[in-house]
Structure 1
Amino acid sequence: MKDQKVYPKSFSHIGITVPDLDKAVKFYTEVMGFYIIMPPTEVLEENETAIGQMCIDVFGKGWNSFRIAHLSTGDRIGIELFEFKESQPKAPEFNPFQTGLFHFSVQDPDVEGLVQKIVEHGGKQRMPIREYYPGDKPYRMC
């Protein structure tokens, strides 16, 4: 193992379960500017196709069907959205001290415009737009 090269891996995608796939696709395309790779599609629980078999491997048996869409950011990071009939629509609790997904980040040269669009569509602005290195570098975040 000493001679094996170590290098950083590329990030491929993240999967997010949503209560309304069509509404989520609209938000991530129209507000966040992501593009659609695969539009909302129904996947059935069956053993005849590779996708059916893979989903049984991952989710087990008894889910019957679900809907999925694949989106991508401009730098090719995938956003995989799932809608399961069994899902309970529940707003996530903001608790950064709890194990699990805390946040994800996007870059946009128009920070003000993107923050405004997110808030207009139900998102929450938790902090003002701030300079990350005030007076030194032009990086801003919110």
Structure 2
Amino acid sequence: MSVIKYPRSFSHIGITVPDIEKAVKFYEEVMGWYVIMPPSKVKKESDTAIGQMCIDVFGEDWEEFEISHMSTSDGIGIELFSFPNGKKEAPDFNPFNTGLFHFCVQDPDIEGLTKKIVQHGGKQRMPIREYYPNEKPYKMVYVEDPFGIVFEIYTHSYELTYSSGAYQE
């Protein structure tokens, strides 16, 4: 049997938020993401496909939660969850531990998007930086949404940013 080697595409990311209505509003108004499915309740019930899948994933210690599906302009899914009994404060930022560190979005108007995030209750975590100062216009910045979820903004694609050897002398 031969092994087929090819890169898999990215489908979606799931993000737990404290208030699903506020999160959908933020991501729709600030990030421009499309609402595919507005906030809906999912109940723990083993006689529906979604209920059984959620029991498989979350176990038995829950009764219901809210979920919404959004999409970026390039078809990447954003699955938002809000659990009534979960912690509602921002997660600890600790990139040194194993786990999801951040996700990244792309916008050529990095300054405008960063300003909009801050105006809507988010934070700018660092100055906007250039990967190749005075050579190429590739910029990046780390920000966080109003719920404390850290993400990054690039001005250019991942391939363009790193294909030139960003860290090589």
- Give the partner amino acid of 1:49: T
- For the residue of structure 1 that corresponds to 2:78, the secondary structure is strand
Q: What is the aligned partner in structure 2 of residue 77 from structure 1?
A: 76
Percent pairwise identity? 70
- Give the partner amino acid of 1:103: H
- Give the partner amino acid of 1:114: L
Deviation at 1:47, TM superposition (A): 1.9
Q: Give the 4+ runs in structure 1 shifted more than 4 A.
A: none
Deviation at 1:50, TM superposition (A): 0.8
- For the residue of structure 2 that corresponds to 1:26, the secondary structure is helix
Q: Mean Cα displacement is larger for which, 85-94 or 67-76?
A: 85-94
Q: Structure 2 regions of 5+ residues with no counterpart?
A: 142-169
Distance 1:82 1:115 in 2: 24
TM-score calculated relative to the size of structure 1? 0.92
- Give the partner amino acid of 1:125: Q
Point out which structure has higher relative CO (alpha carbons under 8 A, 6+ apart). 1
Deviation at 1:115, TM superposition (A): 0.1
TM-score calculated relative to the size of structure 2? 0.78
Distance 1:113 1:129 in 2: 11
C-alpha RMSD of matched pairs (Å): 1.3
Q: What is the aligned partner in structure 1 of residue 113 from structure 2?
A: 114
Q: What is the aligned partner in structure 1 of residue 87 from structure 2?
A: 88
- Give the partner amino acid of 1:69: S
Q: Structure 1 regions of 5+ residues with no counterpart?
A: none
Deviations 1:84-109 (A, max 9, x none): 11111121222221222221110012
Distance 1:59 1:12 in 2: 21
Deviations 1:14-46 (A, max 9, x none): 111111000010111111111111110001111
Superposed, 1:1-142 pairs within 5 Å as 1=1, 3-142=2-141
- Give the partner amino acid of 2:88: P
Q: Mean Cα displacement is larger for which, 10-19 or 124-133?
A: 124-133
- Give the partner amino acid of 1:33: G
Distance 2:5 2:65 in 1: 38
Deviation at 1:135, TM superposition (A): 2.5
Distance 1:111 1:84 in 2: 32
Aligned length: 141
- Give the partner amino acid of 1:104: F
- Give the partner amino acid of 1:47: S
Relative to its length, the structure with more strand (as a share) is: 2
